[in-house]
Structure 1
Amino acid sequence: MHAKPFLVLLLGLMPALAWGAPDLVLELDQTQRLIPSNVRYERLGNSVLISGKMVKPVEGRGRILGHAHVQVLTIDGQILAAIEVPLTNFQPSAKSPQRADFATRIDPLPVGARVIRVRYDASGRTGDAGDPP
């Protein structure tokens, strides 16, 4: 009867054992005008590919300006890397999008990396950044 919790624990550790490193934690900031969605990462040797979408939580007209801001941190919050990632593939149209894609590769992944933080950043640009008119 006690084998099931052990099996679950073992299965939970397998990705870390396979890569020889602990899994990364995704931290998604949902306090901005656009929110990260469908964010995932894939380890590729000594690097990591991070991709996802920025979506408007409420449908509205207006362009999406700015970028995805991706940070790699230690478990205690020290920033090891920070990248501004352009938004692409605006859907359903560039004039009135509801979502946009982003993707970046961090190579090499810094030693001690445990957290990937993703947030929308309008970067001080003028415009509506997705607000309804």
Structure 2
Amino acid sequence: MGNYDNTPTVVVVLVPIRGGLLMIRRGVADGHGELALPGGYQMRGETWQEAGAREVFEETGVRIQANRLRLLTVVTTPDRRQNLLFGQAPPVEHEGSFAHDGEVLEVVVIHEPGCTAFPLHDEMVERFFQR
């Protein structure tokens, strides 16, 4: 058996909330301080939907139902290092403040498209608000 260098899967989730879209301000090196959609790596042993729901909760404190996520698109990053699965949750009710882990500086809700840390996120946010 040879060594495999598998392409990791990143699950990115669009969560409609409070009449807008749930976003995070990144606290990690790549895109530090910039807005992005919540998301992260799918771990071995979980479905892409479970990974998406887990990442949204870790990064924002918002609970979404994994089984209600629907797949919007799959894109391989231009450098071919990651596959991004973009999913969308049904509109979520979340009272009170948001909570986040150490990878996130703050959680915000945007009501119009704007610049994010990643061109692929920009495109999905733009499409979300066009609907």
Relative to the length of structure 2, the TM-score reads 0.29
Task: Answer 1 or 2: which has greater strand percent.
Answer: 1
The structure having more radius of gyration, on CA atoms, is 1
Relative to the length of structure 1, the TM-score reads 0.28
Task: Answer 1 or 2: which has greater helix percent.
Answer: 2
